[in-house]
DNA sequence: TATTGTTATACTCTATAACTATA
DNA sequence: TATAGTTATAGAGTATAACAATA
């Protein structure tokens, strides 16, 4: 604990906190995550998709007839939380719940044509904002960062 | 959009989503952040510090007599949100609000002896959990990851 | 008995706006 | 006029528990 009682000058320059927090992965992840989440909202505008809704739509478009339970598991959220997300997408006529022959408990989720189009538009906007945010990164740095972030997930208990 | 209608097999293996989302920084950040946040809670236990309270305590311990406004700015949150955090720390007798001679609007924040001890304990626990989470990372990878995450903040608007 | 989708509920996090006391 | 701290409030986001229909 040698840095205690140091000056706050460096922190006052920018909004870069100093000291122990800088050395903690959780803290650095949180700060970076908040920046990207705000970028996301800027990219999709006032009544654009919430991040979770975008992620759900992405999977429904890419894996049509995915069920809600599968979707919840893949996204790492609760089934109950998915209801409002799918309600949202269905209210916008971007996704449709369909009965599955052979198991009447299950609802398969399929994108409408409008859903596919809306997803492509949103994805392009998000990707553009991310590219702008990473404009000071080399391609190699971008790839390394993504790879290391995925590596954290690889060990998940 | 070539991957559309592909199989969900890979996603079903683990909880690793596939497709477009994997290529988005925001998504990868969110997933990694959630893992580290859960680790943080495991590290500090049932009624341990919330992440924000821990961060505030960290700065108060390292920069005693920091004001609430400075603290809010450094942490990137609103002044109003800091009240409950400092209330929490003061209720636990870990931090004290002190009047500042010369400007009676300001409250300086100072850690108590118990606050310093509690911080050191908590920090050690968090660091241990982070080290465990990163056990499959080389030292160089850990350093690269931290550096790239900080680099995202460096361009913040 | 177990699973899918659902509802109800509550709790955390956080931003906005307005207030007060000081400057 | 502007700033520090505060209060009230509301909106996300998300987890838990319980339920009905179905397997």
B6 assigned to some structural domain: no
Domain containing B119: what range? 15-154
**Which residues, in sequence order, are CB contacts of A135 under 8 Å at separation 6+?**
B155
**Which residues, in sequence order, are CB contacts of B53 under 8 Å at separation 6+?**
B85, B88, B89
d(CA A106, CA B30): 29
Q: Map residue B46 onto helix, strand or coil.
A: coil
pLDDT interval class at B3 (50, 70, 90): very low
Are A81 and A72 a contacting pair, CB within 8 Å? yes
A8 assigned to some structural domain: no
Which CATH number characterizes residue B141's domain? Answer: 1.10.10.10
Q: Tell whether B154 lies on the interface with A, counting CB pairs under 8 A.
A: yes
Chain segment B33-89, per-residue pLDDT in tens: 999 999 999 999 888 999 999 999 999 999 999 999 999 999 999 999 999 999 999
Count up the domains in chain B and report the number. 1
A9 assigned to some structural domain: no
A71 assigned to some structural domain: yes
CB pair distance less than 8 Å for A25 and B133: yes
Determine the average pLDDT of the residues in A54-72: 97
Determine the average pLDDT of the residues in A134-152: 97
CA of B66 to C1' of C9 (A): 39
Which two tokens mark A37?
A: 């989440």
Predicted model pTM? 0.90
Share of chain A above pLDDT 90, in %: 83
B7 assigned to some structural domain: no
**Which residues, in sequence order, are CB contacts of B56 under 8 Å at separation 6+?**
B71, B75, B82, B85, B86, B89
Taking alpha carbons only, the member of A29, A60, A68, A54 closest to residue A129 is A54
Establish whether the CB of B87 is closer than 7 Å to any nucleic acid atom in strand C: no
B121 assigned to some structural domain: yes
The residue with tokens 């992405």 is A58
**Which residues, in sequence order, are CB contacts of A118 under 8 Å at separation 6+?**
A57, A92, A94
A66 assigned to some structural domain: yes
Chain segment A15-54, per-residue pLDDT in tens: 444 689 999 999 999 999 999 999 999 999 888 999 999 9
pLDDT beyond 60 at B121: yes
Share of chain B above pLDDT 90, in %: 83
Q: Tell whether A132 lies on the interface with B, counting CB pairs under 8 A.
A: no
Which two tokens mark B27?
A: 């998504």
Which two tokens mark A90?
A: 């269905």
Helix (H) or strand (E) holding A28: helix A25-44
d(CA A43, CA A129): 6
Task: Point out which residues pair with B98 in neighbouring strands.
Answer: B108
- Beta-carbon neighbour count of residue B7 at 10 Å? 9
- Cα distances from A50 to residues A41, A55, A69, A77, A100, in angstroms, run 8, 9, 20, 14, 28
- Beta-carbon neighbour count of residue A145 at 10 Å? 23
Chain segment A106-120, per-residue pLDDT in tens: 999 999 999 999 999
pLDDT of residue A154: 85
pLDDT beyond 90 at B14: no
d(CA B24, CA B17): 12
Establish whether the CB of A44 is closer than 7 Å to any nucleic acid atom in strand C: no
pLDDT of residue A6: 47
A7 assigned to some structural domain: no
Determine the average pLDDT of the residues in A125-138: 97
Mean pLDDT of chain A: 90
d(CA A92, CA A86): 10
Q: Tell whether A137 lies on the interface with B, counting CB pairs under 8 A.
A: yes
């Amino acid at each position: 604990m040698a840095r205690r009682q140091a000056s706050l000058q460096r922190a006052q320059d920018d909004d870069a906190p100093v000291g122990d927090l800088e050395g903690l992965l959780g803290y650095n992840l949180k700060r970076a995550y908040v920046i990207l989440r705000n970028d996301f909202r800027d990219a999709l505008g006032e009544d654009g998709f919430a991040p979770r809704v975008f992620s759900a739509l992405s999977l429904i478009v890419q894996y049509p007839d995915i069920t809600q339970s599968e979707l919840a598991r893949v996204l790492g959220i609760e089934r109950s939380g998915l209801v409002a997300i799918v309600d949202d997408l269905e209210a916008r006529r971007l996704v449709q719940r369909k009965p599955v022959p052979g198991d009447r408990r299950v609802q398969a989720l399929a994108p409408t044509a409008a859903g596919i189009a809306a997803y492509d538009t949103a994805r392009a906007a998000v990707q553009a904002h991310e590219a702008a945010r990473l404009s000071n990164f080399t391609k190699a740095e971008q790839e390394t960062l993504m790879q290391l972030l995925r590596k954290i997930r690889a060990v998940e208990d």
